[in-house]
Structure formats: C-alpha cells, structure tokens
Amino acid sequence: MKGLSNASSQLKPSSTVAVTARAMELKRQGIDVISMAAGEPDFDTPEHIKLAAKAAIDAGKTKYTPTLGVFELREAIAAKFKRENKLEYAAAQIQVTTGGKQALFNACWALLNPGDEVIIPAPFWVTYPEQVRLFGGVPVFVQTRAEDGYALELDALEAAVTAKTKMIILNSPSNPSGVVYSDETIEGLMAIAEKHDLWVMSDEMYEHITYTGKLPVSAAKFNTDRVMTINGASKAYSMTGWRIGFAAGPAHVIKAMDAIQGQSTSNANSISQWATIAAVNDTSEYINMAREAFRGRRDAIVSGLNRIGLPTPTPEGAFYVLADTTRIHKDETEAAKIILEQARVAVVPGTDFHAPGRVRLSYACSLEQIEEAISRIGKI
Ligand SMILES: Cc1ncc(COP(=O)(O)O)c(C=O)c1O
C-alpha cells in the first residue's frame, strides 16, 4: 500500500500533549498527579462570556458565519487593537480562526514556499517549527540563554539571515521561557526585518499575562505592513476550549488566509465567536485578577524551585518557568520521567523547546498545588 505523505510523516506530535496524556492515564489509575504540563489557565471562563454564548444559542446564531468571522467580532477585535495596542486595523484585515494555532497555520500557508527559511528564537513553542516544515519551510534557530534572561541578541538574529530567509517568528511573552522582549529589542528586530525585507509573525497570545506593569509593545507598531499579529481568546480570557484565535495583517495576506480557511475548516464556531465579543469588549477586571494571581504563583514557584536546588530564572510573562533539572538527571527527558514517576508531578522536558537540561512547569494551578509539587520534587 502506498504510504503517508512526506509532510505528515515528518510531523512530530506535541510533547506537551504526550506528557498530559501520560499524567491523565496515571490519574485514571487513581494516582494523585499534579499536572504542570498543560498550557491553560485553571480559572473558569468568566460568567459574562458564558452568558453571551447562551444568548447566541437562544437567538439562533448557530449557522455558518462569514469565513473571516462575524463582522461584529472583527469590529470588536479592531477596537481592541486600537484601544490596547494603538494599532489601526480595518475589519477586512482581521481573520477569526479556530484557536491561535489555526491563525499561525493559515499565515504560514499563505506566506511560505518550500525552501523558505524562518528564523525562530529558541527556546520556542514547539508548534512553530512543525508548522513551518509542513509547508516545506526550513526553521533556523537562534539560541538564547537562561544566564542572559533569554534576551534576544540582535546581532545573532541578523547573522542568521540569508538570501532564503522569509520570516522571523516573534513570541513575546514567550512560551516556554516567559521572556518579554524590551521595546528596543522589538524595534531593533523590526529594523532587521525592514533591512532584509522579511515578514514578522508576532505571536502575542500572552500579552495580558505580563508582570512588567505595562502591555508589551506590538511589533506592528513599528510597521504594520510586514507583520502578521497573532492573538486569541484562549489564554487571555481562559477560553482554551472555545477555540477562538485571530490574525491581523495586510489585507492581501488576510484575503489569502480567507481562501485557505474557506477551503479547509470554514468559519470558527459561531457561538464561540459571539461569546468572544463579550470577552474582547469587557474583561479588564478578569484579566487583572488572573494576572495578579499568576504573579503570586510565579513568585512561589520560582522561589520554591530555587530553594530545592533547581535553578530557575524569574520570567516576566506567560505562566511557565524553565527549571534547570540537571541535579536530578543531566538529560531533561529522563529528569521529566523521574519527576512524574517519583514525585507524581507532570512537567514537559525542554528537548522539543530547545531548552536543554531544563523542564517546563506551568504554574496555571493553585498555590497549594505549587507548594505540594515543590515539596514532592524536593524529596527526589
Ligand atoms: C505561544 C502560543 N501561541 C499560540 C498558542 C495557541 O493557542 P490556541 O489554544 O488558541 O490555539 C499557544 C497555546 O499553547 C501558545 O502557547
């Protein structure tokens, strides 16, 4: 029998999903596992968003919508960009997608040709290189280090540019390192993009979970014409299961992404779209509550891990830390296994993120769970 396509057989399954599955399996066996592997806020979706979804069902808003997304949602997203990011986008420059993942996927599909190189600062979210490869692109990694607070060295970034480079993927705040790039770094990165005529994919999924006291600057602030801004409802409003993401960028790219989505999944879920209008319009209270809760948990997990001999830098955004686990095992995959099997704490090895010697812990769980996890890991 003829086999699978080259693209699908090269695709790596997500390591986060694999660890979460193993942790769930242990839980099913009645074993008390603390899950610090998955990347989702533990808060419930705010009530007013749920009510908007119920109202949408009652009003019969349960049919196909325009592929780009319902106009009212795109208008609300455009207003959000203006209010929070000082960016001017028309509704025609915004696409609503099935989660942020699909926004990235559509944009990669619209922009990449086989052989195009895409620069990705490492550690990175595991999905980026896989999506780039799916379209025949070649990921090129620029390593950043814990000792430097995962700061992006602009000279190293520029040194990675070749005649084949088409795009830079920027993710600030970052999953998994939690680094938030300074305004100067983003401005410098945009100058490099300008000089070498590159696209920038700016994944701003964690923009609201930032402990610096201000919203990070959007890359598009420096040049809207070469940036695809990716964001969504999942992390900001605790809506991971609702599957709403969005992309904003030049109209011709959004038009290409519209055609791609129109021939694949069509519109994102109609009820979730109507609920997201409520989320985008009115969530500052929830966002502030969640950010401050995450801040307390971050402080607890960073000090706890350092106390038990797992050096961990303090991240300025998102809800992950990268802990040095070489004390437990020099290989991070082995360390993650030991932590799961002995301490019953699920963590993700840094291997696929290009964070050698480290594991990623998500602190989107209660303070009690964090204290318990530290106490258990400390006994290894
Ligand atoms: C950096 C980053 N971007 C995008 C996404 C995608 O989010 P969604 O669940 O909306 O597809 C995630 C999810 O983990 C993420 O960590």
- For residue 364, the CA-to-ligand 1 centroid distance in Å is 14
Tell me: do 314 and 248 sit in the same domain.
Answer: no
Whole-number pLDDT of residue 16: 67
Domain end call among 244, 261, 282: 282
Q: pTM higher than 0.85, yes or no? A: yes
Atom number in ligand 1 closest to CA 103 = 11
Angstrom CA distances, 356 to 132, 244, 346, stand at 22, 32, 18
For residue 118, the domain's CATH number is 3.40.640.10
User: Which of 175, 230, 269 to probe ligand 1 with, by most ligand atoms within 8 A of CB?
Assistant: 175
**Among protein residues, the one whose CA lies closest to atom 7 of ligand 1:** 100
Tell me: do 149 and 82 sit in the same domain.
Answer: yes
Any domain includes 49: no
Any domain includes 120: yes
Any domain includes 93: yes
Whole-number pLDDT of residue 23: 83
Supply 344's token pair: 């019953």
Tell me: do 26 and 118 sit in the same domain.
Answer: no
Tell me: do 66 and 34 sit in the same domain.
Answer: no
Pocket of ligand 1 (CB under 6 A): 39, 99-101, 125, 171, 175, 203, 205, 232, 234, 240, 245
184 Cβ contact list (under 8 Å, min separation 6): none
Supply 207's token pair: 């923009």
- For residue 248, the CA-to-ligand 1 centroid distance in Å is 16
Tell me: do 16 and 164 sit in the same domain.
Answer: no
Alpha-carbon gap, residue 87 to 163, rounded angstroms: 30
Question: Total structural domains in the chain?
Answer: 2
Any domain includes 178: yes
- For residue 100, the CA-to-ligand 1 centroid distance in Å is 5
Whole-number pLDDT of residue 15: 66
Whole-number pLDDT of residue 9: 84
**Among protein residues, the one whose CA lies closest to atom 4 of ligand 1:** 100
Any domain includes 53: no
Tell me: do 94 and 123 sit in the same domain.
Answer: yes
Tell me: do 328 and 361 sit in the same domain.
Answer: yes
Whole-number pLDDT of residue 7: 84
Tell me: do 306 and 349 sit in the same domain.
Answer: yes
User: Which of 102, 106, 125 to probe ligand 1 with, by most ligand atoms within 8 A of CB?
Assistant: 125
- Structural domain span for residue 161: 62-282
- For residue 378, the CA-to-ligand 1 centroid distance in Å is 30
Atom number in ligand 1 closest to CA 102 = 11
Tell me: do 290 and 278 sit in the same domain.
Answer: no
* Backbone torsions φ then ψ of 255, nearest 5 degrees: -65, -40
Residue-wise pLDDT for 193-242, tens only, equals 999 999 999 999 999 999 999 999 999 999 999 999 999 999 999 999 99
| Residues 77/104, Cβ–Cβ less than 8 Å | no
Any domain includes 51: no
**Among protein residues, the one whose CA lies closest to atom 13 of ligand 1:** 39
Per-residue pLDDT of the chain (380 residues; tens, 9 = 90+): 999 988 888 887 766 677 777 888 898 999 999 999 888 999 999 999 999 999 999 999 999 999 999 999 999 999 999 999 999 999 999 999 999 999 999 999 999 999 999 999 999 999 999 999 999 999 999 999 999 999 999 999 999 999 999 999 999 999 999 999 999 999 999 999 999 999 999 999 999 999 999 999 999 999 999 999 999 999 999 999 999 999 999 999 999 999 999 999 999 999 999 999 999 997 788 999 999 999 999 999 999 999 999 999 999 999 999 999 999 999 999 999 999 999 999 999 999 899 999 999 999 999 999 999 999 999 99
Supply 71's token pair: 């106009």
Atom number in ligand 1 closest to CA 101 = 11
